[in-house]
C-alpha cells in the first residue's frame, strides 16, 4: 500500500504533463481497444467440472458478443493433495491447486497470439463430515476458477493494450 502511495505521489506532478506513463487499462470502456477486443474472444469448451466452471467464469468476464475474431483454448490441471496427517494416518488438511495453460488464437490467421499459464491454490480443512469436506473442496474449486479466470482475462487485456495500433 505504501509503495502505491509513493508511486502515485511521484507521478502526480508528472501526470499533469502526461509523462508518468500510468493510464487506465480499460479507457474508453467497452468501445475502447481493450474492451472491444475482449468482446471478440470466444471460449472453447473445456473438459470436466473444473472446465465448465472456468469457461463460465471466463465468459462472464469477456462479455463476448457478435462474431468472434479470437478463440481462447484452455487446458486445466486440477489437483487435491493431502498435507496434514493425524496420528491415525488420516489427512487433516488439503491443498487444491488449479493451473491453466491457455492460448489466444487469431481465427483469421490461425496464429497463436498469446501462450501463457495462470494458477492459484487454496487450503481446505478436512473435517469429520465427508459431506462438509466435499462441499469445501467444491467451494474452493469455484473460488479458484474465478481467480484464475481473472488472471487470464487480465493478461489478455494487457496483451490487447500493448498491441493496439495506438499503443506506444
Residue 125 or residue 85, greater confidence: 125
Question: 42-73: per-residue pLDDT in tens?
Answer: 999 999 999 999 999 999 999 877 789 999 99
Using only the alpha carbons of the chain, give its radius of gyration.
20
Question: Does residue 2 surpass a pLDDT of 80?
Answer: no
What is the domain partition of the chain in residue ranges?
Answer: 24-163
Question: Could you give the count of Cα atoms lying within 13 Å of 154 in the half-sphere of its Cβ?
Answer: 10
Q: Which CATH number describes the domain made up of 24-163?
A: 3.30.160.150
**Can you give the pLDDT at residue 16?**
46
Mean pLDDT of the chain: 83
Question: 76-100: per-residue pLDDT in tens?
Answer: 999 999 988 888 888 899 999 999 9
pTM: 0.78
Count CB-CB contacts under 10 A for residue 69: 15
Amino acid at each position: 500500500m505504501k509503495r502505491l502511495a509513493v508511486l502515485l505521489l511521484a507521478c502526480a506532478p508528472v501526470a499533469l504533463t502526461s509523462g508518468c506513463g500510468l493510464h487506465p487499462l480499460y479507457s474508453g470502456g467497452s468501445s475502447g481497444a481493450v474492451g472491444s477486443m475482449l468482446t471478440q474472444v470466444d471460449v472453447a469448451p473445456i473438459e470436466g467440472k473444473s472446465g465448465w466452471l472456468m469457461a463460465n467464469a471466463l465468459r462472464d468476464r469477456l462479455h463476448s458478443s457478435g462474431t468472434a475474431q479470437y478463440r481462447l483454448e484452455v487446458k486445466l490441471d486440477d489437483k487435491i493433495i493431502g498435507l496434514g496427517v493425524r496420528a491415525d494416518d488420516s489427512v487433516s488438511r488439503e491443498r487444491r491447486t488449479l493451473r491453466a495453460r491457455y492460448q489466444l488464437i487469431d481465427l483469421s490467421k490461425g496464429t497463436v497470439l498469446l501462450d501463457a499459464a495462470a494458477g492459484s491454490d487454496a487450503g481446505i480443512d478436512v473435517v469429520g463430515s465427508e459431506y462438509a469436506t466435499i462441499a469445501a473442496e467444491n467451494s474452493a474449486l469455484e473460488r479458484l476458477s474465478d481467480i484464475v479466470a481473472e488472471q487470464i482475462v487480465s493478461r489478455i487485456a494487457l496483451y490487447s493494450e500493448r498491441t493496439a495500433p495506438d499503443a506506444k
